[in-house]
Amino acid sequence: MTKPQHPALAAFVTALAGRNMTRAAYVAVALGMSATVLLTMDPAYEAGRRWIIALLWGCLVFFVVEWAVRVQQAARAYRAAAYLMSGRGLLDTLSVLAVPVALASGMEVRTAWLLAVIWVLKVIPGVPGLRQLRRVLVVEARPLLSVLVLFLLVLLLGSVAEYALEHDEQPATFGTIPSALWWAVATLTTTGYGDVVPITPLGRVVAATVMISGLGVFGLWTGILPTAFAAETRRDNFLKTWESVSRVPFFASLGPSTIADVAQMLRTIDLPPRATVIRKGEPGGCMYFIASGEVEVDLPGKKVRLGEGAFFGEMALLGNNLRSADISTTGLSKLLVLDLVDFRVLMARHPDLAQSIDAEAKRRTMENRT
């Protein structure tokens, strides 16, 4: 059995493995990549060799500490082996060992430190868009693979055709199929470096066909990926809105189908502390539900605070088109916004909600007058 940790040490380890460690890792990656770039510039390397190497070693020491902290945290949860065998664990381990192993094997110092480029992969887990892209690639694997097969077919057929038509005329450039493949890649991707050009009439016809096919193939790819990415983004936004709606007590009594209906109408906004949401005297075109956080309503002679689950701004939608008070956030807040048109649709579909909102509006009107 492992010896129990001191509570303060356990808390320190947990804090290190949290957001502060992640932010520090991003800084270390940026510094390490900057030093790696300077490493390849002879004048800069000669002028600041010691500083560059010291900075790289400092970054490496940080990543060693980060790796040790994460292993320690995983060990406390009896998941050290699972962490070390996970993608994140393997990347952390590789980031720690790659350069020392290269140096120990006798590799030249500047060449060995080029392996520090592995550190840049550590930012991948913290990029939400990349996780979405991974899901898109998994979901759209079959269509993307089909387009890839089409790409390879055009590539191979075009290179073989050009080899057959051009190898006698241009043996230096089309003398082998691998040489023709280089031409086909450059042409199919519409890069067209200009170093290989068919000269026979049929060769040019094949080249034109390959170029047009390249536009079609990449058009398919650029159609599949953005459409799927946009659908995945809408799905994520809907799930987040659903979660926020379900936490609002005002909607707690609604069934799943009604919550889904409401979630499609609401927009989610995240606001920092002391952000003005509503200004007195402005025309009102929407109402707000507080999913998390708190807002302060500045009324004549007093200030009222509304917390999670409350709503405001409904009076401008029930008859008075002008806002009656200034409202701002007191802390980090997540608000759900219901526009006027959607408000009327929602009230028509759910009369019980309309009655609840109307009753709350009347109660606040009476309360504000006292």
Cα 136 from Cα 230, distance rounded (Å): 9
* Dihedral sign from CA coordinates of 129, 135, 140, 144: positive
* Domain co-membership, 98 together with 33: yes
Domain edge (last residue) among 101, 126, 151 = 126
The CATH number of residue 170's host domain is 1.10.287.70
Helix or strand holding residue 288 (H, E):
strand 286-292
Residue 185 lies in a domain: yes
For 342-355, the pLDDT digits (tens) are 877 877 777 777 77
pLDDT value at 46 more than 60: yes
Give residue 99's pLDDT band: very low, low, confident or very high (50, 70, 90): very high
Give residue 4's pLDDT band: very low, low, confident or very high (50, 70, 90): very low
φ and ψ at residue 310, rounded to 5 degrees:
-80, 170
What residue type is assigned to position 225 of the chain?
Answer: L
* Domain co-membership, 121 together with 29: yes
pLDDT value at 57 more than 70: yes
- Quick one: average pLDDT of 306-333? 79
* Domain co-membership, 221 together with 286: no
Radius of gyration of the chain (CA): 31
For 122-162, the pLDDT digits (tens) are 887 777 677 778 888 888 889 989 999 999 999 999 899 98
The CATH number of residue 24's host domain is 1.20.120
* Domain co-membership, 322 together with 346: yes
Residue 326 lies in a domain: yes
Q: Give how many domains the chain has, as a whole number.
A: 3
The CATH number of residue 300's host domain is 2.60.120.10
pLDDT of residue 47: 87
Expressed as residue numbers, the domain containing 222 is 141-232
Cα 158 from Cα 351, distance rounded (Å): 66
Cα 84 from Cα 59, distance rounded (Å): 21
Residue 241 lies in a domain: no
Residue 131 lies in a domain: no
Specify the pTM: 0.56
Computed over every residue of the chain, the mean pLDDT equals 81
What residue type is assigned to position 88 of the chain?
Answer: R
C-beta of residue 115 within 8 angstroms of C-beta of residue 32: no
Residue 63 lies in a domain: yes
